[in-house]
Amino acid sequence: MQYLIALGGLVVLVSAILAAMGFHGRPQVVGIDLGTTFSVVALKATDGTVSIIPDHVTGKQLLPSVVTYKSDGKVLVGDVAVAQRGRSPERTIFNAKRFIGRELGEVSQESAEHAYRVVGNFTENSREPNASSLASPAGFAIELDGKKERWVSPIDVGAEVVAHMRRSVTQHLGDILSIRRFLEPNSELLRRPETAFRAAGFEISRAVICVPAKFGFPETKATQEAFERAGMKVMRILEEPTAAAIAYNLHKGEGVRHVLVYDIGGGTLDTSLLYMNGNAVSVLSVAGDDHLGGSDFDIQMRRLLESKLERGDVQIADSETAKESCESSGLHILAEDAKIRLSSEQKVETRCRASDGKDRIFAIGRQEFEDASSELFSRAMAPVQKVLDDQMMTTDYINDVVLVGGASRTPKLRELLQDFFGSSKRLHTEIDPDITVAWGAASVLD
């Protein structure tokens, strides 16, 4: 009885505060970008404001789309899973989106790039229990205790990421409402704030989701199944470039508009040409590079550091302040950090710890890095020309250019795009490119 009284009081409290925040008693719908490298969840209130929900573990807006399956059956998601990549590479699944809805024979190139084993379905209830069958759905072999193996599908991996984000939404709303201040320290309700949300009519179980424009029916269906396994009902499926354009309200303009969406994330580049006429939106053309993204620029920076080390183009310091070694793995961590800093600085320094106990100090200039990455930049611009050529268009037809994905912050890429389209064309970068797709998915809701 005491539990029911406490729940009833909490329901009244939750309802009142949520109503004041703009949530008026309907099941809440979130917008989710289940990305290759990072995933993002956004929530829209009835007053039109959109907010990105932080990860309930780290507080970050971006959740790494990484899942570790430990030998004891425990599952880790996000940053804690990323930390396992060096310790348990064969159990840590990343880039699962590249395999979702695809058969083993279609992913041979992607399979070779990862430390974990990509195999066909070998579960007992599989119609084709053959790990080597090229026609079998692609998945991952995870070794358990006792040398047994478990087959995990990309759908399973996606469901773990979605379920984690769903918990983040519930936790975030609970923190905003300061529920903890109204409960006893060890109350059962404290551990289950979603109980009060459901009772008050604010269940977080519906989503607008996004998929790449190049996804076919199998990939799209598998993505939807990942959400359903996580307990989410898919209300609408948007193509990612459409969501990006909606984030900027480009669908609300008058007349016909042609929008080019340039999406370059950690591992892939997608360029899409959209036709927009009011709420009517269609993708006219898609081109890209499935093996070009921010990680490739990280590798190029690492190679630059390695070449400097081999040539002796470094300073030697007696102090041992470097956190990373001068081995390849340590240089890769330094490379990613240096690349990011060069987006806002013209020159940066970094250091590694050599085997002789002394530090090696590198100086890297932005121009030096851009010259070393010239082939990557050339590849990055090729899909832009292709989507225009496919529609026999010139840049004169393009009204807006939207940049999406973390690697789109690279100054040289923005410079090349601006030069390509001319100074009169605006590059939309006002919204954080990492969250644009999820923002658009949430924005589409009435």
Q: Is 335 helix (H, G, I), strand (E, B) or coil?
A: helix
User: What's the CA gap between 204 and 11, in Å, rounded?
Assistant: 15
Task: Tell me the angle at which helices 217-229 and 154-176 cross, rounded to the nearest 10 degrees.
Answer: 50
Alpha carbon of 221 to those of 167, 217, 416: distances in Å? 23, 6, 36
Give the residue numbers annotated as catalytic, written as ranges. 33, 97, 240, 263
Paired strand residues for 325: 353
Q: Is 443 helix (H, G, I), strand (E, B) or coil?
A: helix
The residue written with tokens 């992913």 in the block is 107
Return the exposure string of 98-126: e unless at least 16 CB atoms fall within 10 Å of the residue's CB, then b: bbbbbebeebeebbeebebebbbbbeeeb
Question: Would residue 72 be called left, alpha or beta, if left means φ above 0 and alpha means ψ between -120 and 50 degrees?
Answer: alpha
User: What's the CA gap between 426 and 167, in Å, rounded?
Assistant: 38
User: What's the CA gap between 52 and 43, in Å, rounded?
Assistant: 6
CB atoms within 10 A of CB 298: 21
Amino acid at 231: G
